[in-house]
Structure 1
Amino acid sequence: MAIARSFLARTSAVAVLALGLAACSSDADAPATSSTTPAAGGADTSLTDVEERGSIIVGTEGTYRPFSFHEDGAGDLTGYDVEVITAVAEEMGLEVQFEETQWDAIFAGLEAGRFDVIANQVSITPDREGSYTFSEPYTISTGVVVVPEDNTDITSFADLSGKRTAQSLTSNWKTLAEESGAQIEGVEGWAQAATLVQQGRVDATINDKLTFLDYQQQQGGDTGLKIAAETEDTSRSAFAFAQGDEALAAAVDEALATLAQDGTLTEISEKYFGADVSK
């Protein structure tokens, strides 16, 4: 499942939980140039640029379910991030133009002015905050311990000591499991880990809460699994703008605040995750 990769990029197993991103399209498909970072001492025209154009150009992956994807690989672009940024644009009186990109080049595309904003579960990290401007977060998540529904032995990370957990051997969740004293059963991803827990072949697995909620949603809620514990630290995902595009970011923040107040963010969140992950 795509979400599982999102937390693999985190630089600390507990404190820094990172979600993913995408890249820019080919030159042949390049849109009209979006706003660019103002030169030192120059005016910030990021908001007036999109208002004059009447649209906001959005960089997104298009293959990152449930955030940005095409149902069955075809059809219209959809997903949690797609619906949130579309609602933001509507609140701002703007049209939306999506530029589907690859993961590795999305920040370069933003810096080059190929689009105005990235909407693809970009986690706010100290390194990124030094290079980009961020909106207020619209997704909050934690790391979770997932166990069988009838399990009563595990209620904290400390309870994993001596237990078997299914983890990808390249993920920071494996590191957290080891730090908690667990014995590791290597797996290739979330689906395999969930199956091993369901079959009773391992006691638990640690992963991103969004991964678990999406899995529950896709399975109609009947998974035989539950969350036994969550990390205190959270991952916050937001829209990313070129450094210095403060005016556009502020306008997006205002729209997000309105959508939070009128329940739109909660409605979109519950559609994709069965819970409100926007706060």
Structure 2
Amino acid sequence: MKRRTLLALAASTVLLAACGQSPTNDAETKATDTAASGGSDLLQRINNGGTINVGTEGTYPPFTYHDESGKLTGYDVEVTRAVADKLGVKVEFQETQWDAMLAGLDAKRFDMVANQVSLTTPERLAKYDKAQAYSWSGAVVLAPKDDNRYSSWEALKGLRSAQSLTSNYGELAERYQAEVIPVDGMAQAIQLVKQDRADFTMNDNLAILDYLKKFPDAALEIKLTAPVSEQTGSGLVLIKGDDAVLAKLDEAMAALAADGTLTKLSQEFFGADISQQK
């Protein structure tokens, strides 16, 4: 009897130990299965021709907006659709406000963001990855076409610059010792330049290109462009760590650059090629 009892206790101990180990084994098995099946869920969807979910604003022309028919379009949107075509997947856009964009990415409401995002802060760089840039921008000087005083940035000294006092461009004008004429925003600044109440204004290259495309008869042109070292690139942004997906996005973007798709879309929305640094 005593031997039988000891055997029963031993069997129970083995059974309990096995039960206690099963969650760890299940977790290890799942991790192994995930790795064996091709990586992350997003990578598997891309490899299997599934659907990627992309967050975008939908109210930020000409990057992401609705046209007269109600269709979601814009440079960022059409670039993303072209990337999806290269990857052989479908794309669904989830529209959200800018302030909630990265929070939605954190919460996995979508897989990536297409909304002119540049990772310029240490906090963002630590948390997110950006695929190869599809647009580049920096400060430019806008002035009348017949004004030939803009041989260099140093030539801005003493000239009148229409700028918002709280903007980076106002600070840049002051750095080059221009006389700053205070304005509320870009629209007012351009009006002062056209009225000869200011010599020039500075703003983001993409914003100025958008204006010039909409108003080709404005008799204004870009005189100076920020050097390459001061330009920032925007691209598809996703949570850091999915290197295999990032590599596929980079490969697709490189192919779109090589076959002229990015240049074509740039010309369509901006009248200039914004996909390359110049």
TM over 0.5: yes
Count of matched residue pairs: 237
Match in the other structure for 1:118: 113
Kept after mapping to 2: 8 A contact 1:60/1:98: yes
Report the structure, 1 or 2, having the larger helix content. 2
TM-score calculated relative to the size of structure 1 = 0.81
Write the letter of the residue equivalent to 2:130. F
Cα separation, 2, equivalents of 1:170 and 1:49: 45
What CA distance in whole angstroms lies between the structure 2 residues aligned with 1:251 and 1:59? 19
The one-letter amino acid paired with 1:159 is A
Of residues 218, 234, 245, the one that matches 1:248 is 245
Query: Residue type of the partner of 2:204?
Result: D
The equivalent position to 2:160 in structure 1, one of 160, 164, 177, is 164
Q: Report the Cα offset of residue 172 of structure 1.
A: 0.3
Cα distance in structure 2, aligned partners of 1:261 and 1:53: 23
Write the deviation string for residues 201-244 of structure 1: whole angstroms up to 9, x where unpaired. Answer: 1001011111111111112x222111121221111111100111
Give the superposition deviation at 1:156: 2.2
Please tell me whether the aligned partners of residues 131 and 236 of structure 2 are also in contact (alpha carbons under 8 angstroms).
yes
Task: Give the Cα–Cα distance (whole angstroms) in 1 for the partners of residues 173 and 234 of structure 2.
Answer: 24
- The one-letter code of the counterpart of 2:76 is D
Structure 1 residue ranges (4+ consecutive) displaced by more than 4 angstroms after TM superposition: 50-53
Equivalent in the alignment of 1:28:
none
Give CA deviations for 1:138-192 in whole Å, capped at 9, x if unaligned.
1112211111111112332212211111112221000000111111112222111
Q: Aligned-pair distance for 1:71?
A: 2.3
Measured against aligned partners, the alpha-carbon deviations of 1:22-51 in whole angstroms (never above 9, x if no partner) come to xxxxxxxxxxxxxxxxx9xx9540311444
Aligned partners of 1:169, 1:102: CA distance in 2, in Å?
26
110-119 vs 222-231, greater mean Cα deviation: 222-231
Paired letter, 1:66: P
* Residue of structure 1 in register with 2:262 after alignment: 265
> What is the identity, as a one-letter code, of the residue corresponding to 1:265?
L
Retained in 2: the 8 A contact 1:71–1:78?
yes
Specify the alignment match of 2:136 in structure 1: 140
Please say which structure displays the higher CA radius of gyration.
2
2:104 matched to 1:109? yes
Counterpart contact for 1:124–1:238, Cα < 8 Å: no
| 2:270 alignment partner AA | F
- Where in structure 2 are the equivalents of 1:1-279 lying within 5 Å? 44-45=39-40, 46-52=42-48, 54-72=50-68, 75-127=70-122, 128-219=124-215, 221-232=216-227, 233-279=230-276
Amino acid at match of 1:137: A
User: Within 2, Cα distance between the matches of 1:171 and 1:131?
Assistant: 27
Q: Distance in 1 between matches of 2:45 and 2:226?
A: 41
**C-alpha distance in 2 between matches for 1:109 and 1:53:** 24
For residues 70 and 155 of structure 1, what CA distance do their matches in structure 2 show?
A: 40
What secondary structure is seen at the aligned counterpart in 1 of 2:177? coil
In structure 2, give the amino acid aligned to 1:115: F
Quick one: distance in 1 between partners of 2:192 and 2:151?
19
- 5+ residue gaps, structure 1, are 1-38
Task: Kindly provide the amino acid, as one letter, of the partner of residue 270 in structure 1.
Answer: Q
- Percent identical residues: 48
Q: Choose between structure 1 and 2: higher strand proportion.
A: 1
* Aligned amino acid, residue 243 of structure 2: E
